[in-house]
Structure 1
Amino acid sequence: MSLETNEMRFLAGGGEMGALTRNKDWSQTPVGPVAQWPQLLRTTLSILLNTRFPMFLWWGQELICFYNDAYRPSLGDRGKHPAILGKRAHEAWPEIWDTIHPLIDQVLEGGEAIWREDQLIPIYRNGGMEDVYWTFSYSPVRDESDAVAGVLVTCHETTDKINTLKRIEESEERFRQVADSAPALIWMSGTDRLCNFFNKAWLRFTGRAMEQESGSGWLEGVHPDDLEKCVGIYSSFFDKREAFYMEYRLRRHDGTYRWLADSGAPRLTPSGDFVGYIGACMDIHEQKLFSEELEKQVRDRTWELEQKNAELLAMNKELQSFAYISSHDLQEPLRKIQTFSTRILDQEYPNLTEDGKDKFQRMQKAAKRMQTLIEDLLAYSRTNTEERKFKTINLGSIVEQVREDLQEELLEKQATVEVLNLGEVSVIPFQFRQLIYNLLSNALKFSKSTLAPHITITSEKGQGSTLGPEKLAPEREYCCIRISDNGIGFEQEYSEKIFEVFQRLHAQERYLGTGIGLAIVKKIVENHNGMIQAKGEPGQGATFTIYIPASPSKA
């Protein structure tokens, strides 16, 4: 067909269907040659062919078929296209004529448009019959006399949407079957925030029917004290469409409340559309009660510790007062006793009997021991109260300072101190000097009368796993210091007891001392986050081994 005359230009464009309409010999159809077509048909076809929305036209009493490119995909392949163009409706659609004929007649006779949504109308396409869903409108096309000259169909195929919804429904049905066999309490809600499913475990738990729990009915079972929190959490996360977790009490069928842990997550279609929430609840009542009891015990214990701490602070103040008294008030009478007894011995010595001289000398020795005891107690208390500032210093320098302090005792006993492989160590200088002093003084004190004392001091560094004691951290680096002597030694069974305050293994008359020196040593080692071991054998001497972290920051 040519478009040479103006009256043919209404068929211009229209894509594939425009070309098919122009090239068809319409004189062989009931509608007749194009030149004889009425203006209404021309106008309607011009609109139909050039719109991108799917349209179909049944024209005249014979209901001749016309359609556009947008409608063409719904006909599929190996089906009706393009054979139905120009055919009568009952010839083109025999398989669905019983369905569409009443709808067409309704429009032709009543002159009113009709609308159907997601209606199943199977058609022949792709080599066979297929279930096809449509949303469509049948509208009358009126001529100049207001008579219905045709039926214009605007339609949209919704088969994919319906099949997707069916798959979702089938998936949800399968899920509900699985959920009903699960021990957890499972619920689901829609986009309206109302719950529309509870599994059998939930219904058994509450003793209520699905109709009672659905919507917001389930909230009737939430403990009044938890209701506001429960609704608030659910609403806030629903707005954000994020997963949530909350704990609340739900009334059981027997009227008691049980703690539940509820984990909710948004439900999404394969295309990512939000369709509501799904949640699973676990009964955590026993764990919750245990946790609450544990928290109560912790609170009670914390209160007790606070009370004990207050008592310790008070005791510490008392100890500080005692230390002040010991360093001032108690020592002042001792100094007077020593001073006046010395003056009496100096001035009245010829006038005293031998028994009187002996008693004065005993009194002076007792006062000296008392002064030494007070000084040792002060030293022991200071190991707890002094500020602990670590400093890296050479161990040999500490030993040298102590040797100078003990110079007279070393000369008197002709003692030698052998120092080997001493390096740097990170310590609290004042305390560590006290430690070395006490151990060397101890070695001199418990030396043999027939053998000059020989003291050996060595050190090495290594990881806890290589140094030996199980109490050391395997991966931490330690400094190991050993101080050995050739003195009188001790029974190994006393290796722990000798570090206790006021513990003495020998008579006061033979070996002077207060029994506090080694207790001070142990306390200083503990202040350095280390440990000390003692090894001895009667008549063979003693060895004290000290382990302290090489770096205080790792203590």
Structure 2
Amino acid sequence: MFSKKYNSFLKDSEMTAVIRAADWSSTSVGEMDKWSMGLRSALGIMLNSRFPMFLFWGKDMTCFYNDACLDSMGIRGKHSSILGKSRAGSLSEMWHIISPIIKNVLKSGEASWHEDQRVPIFRSGKMVDSYWTSSYSAVCNDFEKIEGILVAMNDVTEKAEARKKKEEAEERTRLAAEIAQIATWDLDLQTHKMIHSESLATIFGHEKNVQLTYADMISQFHPDDIADVVEKAFELSMQSGTYKYEARVIKNNGELGWIRSHGKIFFDSTHEPLKIIGTLIDVTEEKNHSEILMESELKFRLLADSLPQLIWTADANGALNYFNLSVLIYAGINYRDLNAGGFQKLIHPDEIEQFDSNWTSVLITGDDFLLEHRLLRHDGVYRWFYSRAIAQKDAAGKIQKWVCTSTDIQQQKTFTEELEKEVSERTAELKNTNVNLVKMNIELQSFVYVSSHDLQEPLRKIQTFISRLNDTEEMKFSAAAKEYFEKINAAADRMQSLIQDLLAYSRTNLTDKVFVMKNLQELAEEIKEDYRERIQETNAVVEIHNLCKAKVIPFQFKQLFNNLIGNALKYSKPGIPPHILINGSLINGFEIKNLGAEADCTYCHISIADNGIGFDMKYKDKIFQIFQRLHSKTEYSGTGIGLAIVKKIVENHNGIITASGAENQGATFDIYIPEL
């Protein structure tokens, strides 16, 4: 018979059986009579059970089983019959799993219960793992001695696998929540008891092993958000079944944070709320970033509305989405109409195609949008604007938005048009002036020709006849007549000198300006040689030092040296031998920038100083003007053209000339000629 422990186990597992007579095909009634009451009872239970059952009996653990084992345990087909077989020849695949349990039950006599026990069995011709809930109970003989073990088994493979999949899914969900830093919570609305994941505590600023109550969580909400946000969200959830909100929380360390919660409410059959299951995430960083963006956007709009420029923005696809106050005032239409394509209607019909083409192009390339076009003002007048749009890009270079400005350039346009008109008129005038200048140059050339031939011819005849009269009739002239003839002769000579000087001055403009690299020292020495007799007559000293090489017009530069050296010899002080010092050097243009020199150019500096009569510095500019004389023609001969010729030659060489001096203390002329 069974032990009390076994009977209790059978009752608990609800596996009751009725012992009844049975037809044992493999065992005679006579043999059954030899078995003990315990064995007979166990076999009766097995035969009447709908669960697979095994009985291991005797010292060799002879195996008995019921029909329920044939298919569910994979015995059919594998063993034609294992009834009465020892364990070695039966169920060898599972024996190594159940044998340790059987040994413990034999030793202790205590029934043993096992859930989800993995047991390998044959199914569809192959060994597979299955899961069973099993009980092990001792079976005693007539003398209360344990003779065997009765094993009852229930196949729970489908439930075990389903539970395993559920656990795996729950684990994946848990891991995903942890990775995403999402806390989960489960609140019983009847008892207010709450279960939550570890991450919920950390979001509220606690250690992760702290268990928060619903009251703890509510106490950390910002006071202003409890009624206005949390409780209001709960009221709405009673209708929708969805519980969601964003609220501020005061973390355990006193810092202010933001959370976002999303949950679902479960109701009973009477629509009474039972519980809420939801998630919660820390969105403090997101909110802070959002607030920074909003603050930046607000500053941008305040600044944009304070500017007279038309400012508008567009999204990455080019759709206009913002216009400042100046656009609204200029266009005279509201924001909604502008946003609905009104801005494009402001563009002048002649420029709309170009505007759209350029805008489409920059949306693809990301280049700046630049265009001059007209926009319609609220009073029906088109004004010119210069529009510029710049793409704002993220770190990866992807366009996020466009910021655009349109600047009123009507005044500049009007000024430009007037300027172009004026330039056109001036160009026409200049063209006419050039034609007249060509005519004047032709006339001047004719005058030069007349001066060099026709005007000098009568002078030569006058001088010739005066000379003949002096030779043949001198003795017949009275003293007064002789004086008159001398004055006539002097006037003719002066007239001839004046004509020759005028010709020399005109040639400084009319001669071909062919520049040649020359040694200025050699040119100055040639002129000094030309004045040898005069130098000897006056006991003059002429020193020439360190003149450089430069590109010059040789003929003109010889005339320059001739006029300056000649003036120095002519305007010497009576009784004092002339001393003329000519020095040369190279000088950087930056040093004489105040004189109008180019700072990055190198100049040949030529200084010509004398010890003559000098001049008052108030005449330093006047002396270079044509026909200007500081002394009477009776004191010093000359026409007043020599220094004007010198200045013209210097200007022909893009040079600079200055004069300095003092009365009776000599004069100095400084000339600066570009080296190349």
Name the TM tier (shorter chain): 0.5 to 0.7
| Structure-2 change in CA distance of 1:506 and 1:271 (3 Å) | closer
* Alignment-derived partner of residue 384 in structure 2: 259
522, 526, 551: which one pairs with 2:647?
522
Deviation for aligned residue 1:474: 6.5
Deviation at 1:517, TM superposition (A): 0.5
Match of 1:545 in 2: 669
| Other-structure match for 1:415 | 539
1:245 lines up with 2:370 in the alignment: yes
Q: Residue 424 of structure 1 is aligned with which of 532, 537, 548?
A: 548
1:179 to 301, 321, 332: 301
Unaligned residue ranges in structure 2 (runs of 5+): 1-116, 135-153, 185-194, 197-241, 246-258, 264-280
- One of 444, 447, 460 as aligned partner of 2:572: 447
Structure 2 distance, partners of 1:6, 1:500, is 131
Change (3 A) 1:307 1:421: same
TM value normalised by structure 1: 0.66
Q: Secondary structure at the match of 1:242?
A: coil
Mapped partners of 1:488, 1:178: distance in 2? 77
Match of 2:274 in 1: none
1:359-378 equivalences under 5 Å are 359-378=484-503
Question: How far apart are 1:437 and its partner, in Å?
Answer: 0.6
CA contact (8 A) 1:194 1:215 kept: no
Residue of structure 2 in register with 1:88 after alignment: none
* Aligned residue identity for 1:353: F
Which has the larger displacement, 392-401 or 463-472? 463-472
2:407 is matched with: 282
CA contact (8 A) 2:347 2:373 kept: yes
Pick closer, same or farther for the CA change 1:399–1:166 going to 2, 3 Å: closer
For 2:505, what is the secondary structure of its paired residue?
Answer: helix
1:216 aligns with 2:216: no
With over 3 angstroms needed to count, the CA separation of the structure-2 counterparts of 1:464 and 1:270, relative to structure 1, is: closer
Pair 1:522–1:203, CA change in 2 (3 A): same
Q: AA paired with 1:444? A: L
Deviation at 1:213, TM superposition (A): 1.0
Instruction: Provide the secondary structure at the position in 2 that maps to 1:196.
Output: strand
Alignment of 1:106-505 (within 5 A): 171=293, 175=297, 178-179=300-301, 181-182=303-304, 183-184=306-307, 185-190=310-315, 192-268=317-393, 272-343=397-468, 345-346=470-471, 348-349=472-473, 353-354=477-478, 359-411=484-536, 413-428=537-552, 429-463=554-588, 471=596, 477-505=602-630
Amino acid aligned to 2:339: S
Match of 1:143 in 2: none
Q: Which amino acid counterpart does residue 555 of structure 2 have in structure 1?
A: F
Q: Where does residue 222 of structure 2 map in the other structure?
A: none
Deviation of the 1:132 alpha carbon: 7.5
Q: 1:241 to 1:9 in 2, by over 3 A?
A: farther
Aligned partners of 1:177, 1:7: CA distance in 2, in Å? 75
Change in CA separation of 1:331 and 1:427 when aligned onto 2, cut-off 3 Å: farther
Shift of 1:415: 3.3
Stretches of structure 1 that go unaligned for 5 or more consecutive residues are 13-21, 50-56, 58-63, 82-91, 94-118, 123-128, 134-158
Distance 1:388 1:262, change over 3 A: same
Structure 2 vs 1, CA of residues 363 and 248 (structure 1 numbering), >3 Å: closer, same or farther? same
Distance 2:487 2:414 in 1: 70
Contact 1:417 1:457 in 2 (8 A): no
- Identify the range of structure 1 (419-428 vs 492-501) with the bigger mean alpha-carbon deviation: 419-428
> What are the superposed Cα offsets for residues 85-123 of structure 1, whole Å, 9 maximum, x if unpaired?
xxxxxxx99xxxxxxxxxxxxxxxxxxxxxxxxx9999x
| CA distance in 2 between partners of 1:296 and 1:8 (Å) | 104
> Does the C-alpha gap of structure 1 residues 175 and 291 become closer, same or farther in structure 2, counting only changes over 3 Å?
farther
C-alpha displacement at 1:237, in angstroms? 1.7
3-state SS of the aligned residue for 2:525?
helix
The separation in 1 between residues aligned to 2:121 and 2:438, in whole angstroms, is: 114
| Post-superposition offset of 1:250 | 2.1
The higher-RCO structure (CA 8 Å, 6+ apart) is: 1
What's the TM-score once normalised by structure 2's chain length? 0.55
- 1:551, distance to aligned residue in structure 2 (A): 1.9
Q: How many residues align?
A: 460
Q: 1:220 to 1:486 in 2, by over 3 A?
A: same
Rounded to whole Å, the distance in 1 between the matches of 2:558 and 2:517 is 13
Q: Sort the Cα spacing of 1:469 and 1:267 in 2 relative to 1 into closer, same or farther, 3 A.
A: closer
Aligned equivalents of 1:468, 1:227: Cα separation in 2? 52
Conserved? CA contact 1:478–1:547, under 8 Å:
no
My pick for the range that moved more, 163-172 or 236-245, is 163-172
* Aligned-pair CA distance for 1:208: 0.9
Matched to 2:568, the amino acid is: A
- What CA distance in whole angstroms lies between the structure 2 residues aligned with 1:5 and 1:314? 127
Q: What amino acid is the match of 1:189?
A: A
**Equivalents in 1 of 2:443, 2:630: separation in Å?**
31
Question: SS of 2:473's equivalent?
Answer: helix
* Structure 1 residues 28-107: aligned runs within 5 Å: 67=169, 74-76=176-178
Cα pair distance change 1:444/1:265, threshold 3 Å: closer
Larger deviation, residues 477-486 vs 216-225: 477-486
Checking the alignment, whether the CA contact within 8 Å between 2:517 and 2:550 is kept in structure 1 is: yes
Cα distance in 1 between the residues matched to 2:183 and 2:580? 114
Q: Which amino acid aligns with 1:507?
A: S
Show CA shifts across 1:229-267 (max 9, x none). 323322222232222222333233344444333221234
Max Rg structure: 2
Q: Is the 8 A contact 1:7 1:35 kept in 2?
A: no
Q: CA RMSD in A?
A: 5.1
Contact 2:548/2:604 (<8 A) preserved:
no
CA contact 2:501–2:641 (8 Å) conserved in 1:
yes
Q: 2: CA distance between counterparts of 1:177 and 1:298?
A: 46
Cα deviation code 1:195-231 (max 9, x no counterpart): 2332333223322112211243212222334333323
The 1:79–1:389 alpha-carbon spacing in structure 2 relative to 1, beyond 3 Å, is closer
Q: Which amino acid aligns with 1:200?
A: L
Q: What secondary structure, in the 3-state scheme, does the structure 1 residue paired with 2:378 have?
A: coil
